[in-house]
Amino acid sequence: MAFSVNVENRETGVYLLVLDGRLDANTSPTLEQKIDPLLAPGTKTLLLDLGKLSYISSAGVRVILRARKSMDASHGTFIMTNLQPQIRKVFEIINALPKTPIFNSIQEADRYLDVMQREEIEKQRRLSNPK
């Protein structure tokens, strides 16, 4: 089965990656090629939509966890959405989910990001206008 990654620049520094097919040792370099340029200081948020991902091997998990680690190091946000049961199970087995926000849909993730941005704006406003 083929594997593809569609990258959408949703706004400055916010990227949605839609993974489709089998992510394994043969296809993980494709994901690396797409995701590596996005792991730059200007990236604020990476959203991975895994709704069309049918299989993931340890090689695929490695690429995803490396991206999450990079985003954590740059204080960015890393989100996974639409995990199929078999994909969620893999991440549960390796105990990788507790640090990663998981949402059932892109819309749910967008609502979360909207709230987080509003909170940050309010925080900055309070800091710039102390009483």
For the stretch 43-93, pLDDT in tens is: 999 999 999 999 998 899 899 999 999 999 999 999 999 988 888 888 777
For the stretch 14-30, pLDDT in tens is: 999 999 999 999 999 99
CATH assignment of 3-105, among 3.40.1180.10, 3.30.750.24, 3.20.20.10, 3.20.20.60: 3.30.750.24
| For residue 100, pLDDT beyond 70 | no
Q: Under 8 Å CB-to-CB from 29, ≥6 apart: which residues?
A: none
| For residue 95, pLDDT beyond 80 | no
| For residue 116, pLDDT beyond 80 | no
Q: Please tell me whether the overall predicted TM-score, pTM, comes out greater than 0.85 for this model.
A: no
What pLDDT, on the 0 to 100 scale, is given for residue 69? Answer: 92
DSSP at 116:
H
What pLDDT, on the 0 to 100 scale, is given for residue 85? Answer: 87
User: What residues does each domain of the chain span?
Assistant: 3-105
